[in-house]
Amino acid sequence: MTGGPGPTQPLADTNPPGGQSQVPPPLVDVVLLTMNDRPEEERASQATLLAQRGVEVRICVVGNGCTPDVVPAGALTVVLPENLGIPGGRNEGALALAELDPPADYLFFMDNDASFPGPDVLARLVAEAGQHPEAGYVQPRLTGPDDTTTPRRWVPRLRAGDPGRPGTVTSMTEGVVLVRRTVFDQVGGWCEGLFLYHEGFDLSYRIWSQGYSGWYAGGLRMHHPLSSPSRHALFFRLAARNRVWVAYRNLPGPLIPVYLAAWTTATALRAVRGGGARESWQGFREGWAGRHEQDRRPMSWRTAWRLTIAGRPPVL
């Protein structure tokens, strides 16, 4: 790990005119991953982050198998000799920021091509967390650059007809999510073995298992390019493998076959239109063969019931 000249400067004036003291703004640690493959998008994304007001931010840019080329002034950098995957890289960034004093109130994980459409979005997201202390994580609505289009996969609930409707959610869209620092540490962070895909399901299950919930601030928007996850060559195999591992890591035994049956059926139906049946089957087999290598901490039946009444039984 290599450090920059220090954390970014506060983005809010904590000493108003007259010298009267004021409560300091919330402290948010932000983790950005890079593989140096989209420098222009990264510069634009970071500019919107640095423009945020009403919060104090500290930034860590993690080079996943590279030395980051685009780093804001004052940010920390972490140089990983190999690509650890998205959850592994995020954990390394969170670990580096944990060494700073004082500890942050929140962690914000942000894709390096996501952007804030206005300077108050992060502060408003933190305010939502303050209004929902039961929520271990809070996330905004993610849209395309047009500020309107929200693919179904970006809405963290089953009923996605109105993507602007806020409410309690049981999953998360990993690319832009605010997590309470104490909760993140309590559950052990992201599952590094997943490497890519469905790590949000795993983290949300772990958070719910600790008695917290999730909150979707559907009225707050962030932007992200409209790309399909299937553009990645490993998508079908890793997505199927990780479904098995998420189930084995988190679900009570009787629910595992129900969950896998539901997702096998859904995958087969999608393969009729989008292909990937062979790779998905390979992933399911790989996941089942490697399930015992996972850290199994099944949720209680009470947590399963809480997830169900919140709108998503943990078999879907």
pLDDT of 4:
41
Domain ranges, ordered by start, for the chain: 27-227, 232-297
Q: Quote the CA–CA distance of 157 and 43 in Å, as a whole number.
A: 31
Specify whether the CB–CB gap between 74 and 8 falls below 8 A: yes
pLDDT beneath 70: ranges in the chain = 1-21, 230-232
pLDDT of 12:
39
Specify whether the CB–CB gap between 211 and 274 falls below 8 A: no
Burial of 17 (C-beta count, 10 Å sphere; 0-12/13-18/19+)? exposed
For 147-180, the three-class secondary structure string (H helix, E strand, C coil) is CCCCCHHHCCCCCCCCCCCCEEECCCCCCEEEEE
pLDDT of 227:
80
pLDDT of 50:
98
pLDDT of 20:
59
pLDDT of 130:
97
Q: Quote the CA–CA distance of 181 and 187 in Å, as a whole number.
A: 10
Q: Which two tokens stand for residue 27?
A: 């402290």
pLDDT of 231:
63
CATH fold for domain 27-227: Spore Coat Polysaccharide Biosynthesis Protein SpsA; Chain A (3.90.550)
Specify whether the CB–CB gap between 157 and 144 falls below 8 A: no
| Residue entry with tokens 């960034």 | 93
Q: Which two tokens stand for residue 265?
A: 């059926």
